[in-house]
Amino acid sequence: MPGAGLGAPVEGGYLYAPMRLPHRGDLLLFLASLLLCLGALEAAIRLGLMPLPAYVLSDGWQRERWLRRDADEVTKHRIDRHHPVLGWTMLENLAGVPLNGRPVHSNSAGMRGRREYPLEPGEPLRIVALGDSFTFGQCVGDEETFAARLEQRIAPGEVLNLAVHGYGHDQMLLRLREQGLAYRPDWILLGFLNVDVDRNQLTFRDYWKPRFRVRGERLELEHVPVPSPEEFAGRFQLRGGNYAEMLWDTVFAKRLERRNRRRSEAILREIAAEGRRAGARVAFVYLPGGHQASVGKSLPRRVYKHVCEEGEVLCIDPTPRIHRFLAGEADPASHFACHYSARLHDLVAEEIAAVLPR
C-alpha cells in the first residue's frame, strides 16, 4: 500500500520517520508479563498440572521424572545405593530383596549372586561381565542370569556379574576401572543393548550419572562427583528449565546424536584398550530385542558394528540361536514380557560358551 508506514510525501519520494524506541515502561511491562507467565508455568509443573511428555532423550525429561517420584531413594529400586562416580551401584550383601517377583542377592562386593570371589584368581578361567539390566538379569533369579549359566558351563571357571540396571557404556567402563580390573580377569564380557548408546548422551538417567566428553583423542570425565539424593533434593530446582531442555534436545536431536556416536565409539574402544592393558581379552555380546530375535535379523547400532569391524574385540551374536528356539514356541513374545526369560538367558550363555576361546 503506497505510503504505508512512511512519513509525509515529499518531492521525489517519501520522508522516512525514525522508528520509535520502546519506552522504559513498555519494557518493564513486557518483562513483568514474561516473569508472570514463567511463574505460572513453574507453579503448574510443581502442582502436577503440567503433564510429563512422552519419552524424550533428554536430561530434562529424566530429571523431571525423578523429581515427580514420591520416594527419595537414589533410584526406584531398593537394591541400589548412591555412588559419587558411577551415580548408583548395587547394594552389598543383599539377602533376597524382591525385584520383579524374584529375590535378588548380592555378595560383599555388590555383585549379583551369593558367591564371593577373592581378588586373586583361584580358577583357570575368570570372566568379568559388564552390562545393564539385561546382563544383570532384571526379571530372573540369581542362578538364571546368562552370567550364572555361563559360569556353570565353564566350571570350575568364574563369571563375576558386575552389571547394573540402567547403565550406559560410560558407567560400564568406570565400573571396570573401579572394580572389575582388580579381579584380574582373563576375559571382559560386555552385554551390548542398543539403548545403552543413548544413555551415553545423558547426565541423568535413573539418577545423576557421569558422562564423557571427547577432546581430540581423549575421553574426559564430566559431572563427577555425583551429588547424593539428599543433596540434590535440597537444591532449588527450576522445573521449567527441564521443559526448556527437552525442547532444545528435541530440536537439535540429530546434532546430539552425531556427537554421541563419536563419544560411544570412543568409550567402547577404551573398554577394549583397558582390557588389553590388563592382559585380558574382550568380547561384546549383542543382545537383540524381541522383534529382531523373532525374525532372526540383528540390527545393532552403528557404533557396535564399527568397533567389531576393527577386530580388537570378539563379537558374539546369539540372535540366530534365539531365533531357532522361538520358531518352535507357541508364544514367542512371552519370553520378552519382562526383559529376557530364564530360557533366553540360557541360550545366550550357550552361545557364549560355544564360541569363547578358553
Number of domains forming the structure of the chain: 2
Cell 558394528 sits on residue = 305
Q: Is the distance from CB of 283 to CB of 187 less than 8 angstroms?
A: yes
CA 29 from chain centre, in angstroms, equals 44
11 is a domain residue: no
Range of the domain at 132: 57-355
Residues 152, 299 within the same domain: yes
Which pLDDT belongs to residue 4?
47
Q: Are residues 24 and 73 in the same domain?
A: no
Q: Are residues 147 and 254 in the same domain?
A: yes
pLDDT at 123: 81
Contact 334, 305 (CB under 8 A): no
Quickly count: other Cβ atoms within 10 Å of residue 225's Cβ.
10
> What per-residue confidence (pLDDT) applies to 43?
86
Residue 222 lies in a domain: yes
Q: How many angstroms separate the CA atoms of 111 and 119, rounded?
A: 13
Give residue 262's pLDDT. Answer: 97
Q: Which pLDDT belongs to residue 22?
A: 67
Structure confidence at residue 17 (pLDDT): 59
Q: How far apart are CA 314 and CA 308, in angstroms?
A: 7
Q: What predicted TM-score, i.e. pTM, was given to this entire model?
A: 0.89
CATH code where residue 99 lies: 3.40.50.1110
3-state helix, strand, coil in the chain (%, to 5): 40, 15, 40
Q: For residue 118, what are the CA distances in angstroms to 123, 137, 158, 258?
A: 11, 23, 11, 42
Q: How far apart are CA 230 and CA 74, in angstroms?
A: 9
Give the number of other Cβ atoms within 10 Å of residue 188's Cβ: 26
6 domain-assigned: no
* 121 shares a domain with 226: yes
Q: Is residue 329 part of a domain?
A: yes
Does residue 134 lie within any of the structural domains?
Answer: yes
Alpha carbon distances (Å) from 6 to 2, 17, 21, 228: 9, 6, 16, 62
User: How far, in Å, CA of 95 to CA of 103, rounded?
Assistant: 8
Q: Are residues 41 and 133 in the same domain?
A: no
139, 196: one domain: yes
Residue 73 shares a structural domain with residue 26? no
Q: Which of 221, 315, 201 is nearest to 263 (CA)?
A: 201
Residues 34 and 125 placed together within one structural domain of the fold: no
Helices (H), 113-251: 133-136, 146-153, 169-178, 195-199, 229-233, 239-251
Assess whether 187 and 232 both reside in one domain: yes
161: β partners: 129
Same domain membership, residue 147 and residue 124: yes
Is 94 found in the same domain as 40? no
- Are 246 and 133 found together in one domain? yes
Helices (H), 8-57: 24-46
Per-residue pLDDT of the chain (358 residues; tens, 9 = 90+): 444 444 555 555 555 556 666 677 767 777 777 777 777 888 888 888 899 999 999 999 999 999 988 766 899 889 999 999 999 999 999 999 999 999 999 999 999 999 999 999 888 899 999 999 999 999 999 999 999 999 999 999 999 999 999 999 999 999 999 999 999 999 999 999 999 999 999 999 999 999 999 998 899 999 999 999 999 988 888 999 999 999 999 999 999 999 999 999 999 999 999 999 999 999 999 999 999 999 999 999 999 999 999 999 999 999 999 999 999 999 999 999 999 999 999 999 999 999 998 7
Question: CA 125 → CA 17, 85, 97, 117, 318, distances in Å?
Answer: 87, 29, 30, 13, 22
CB of 200 closer than 8 Å to CB of 270? no
Is residue 259 assigned to a domain? yes
The answer to the question of residue 3 being in a domain is no
12 within domain boundaries: no
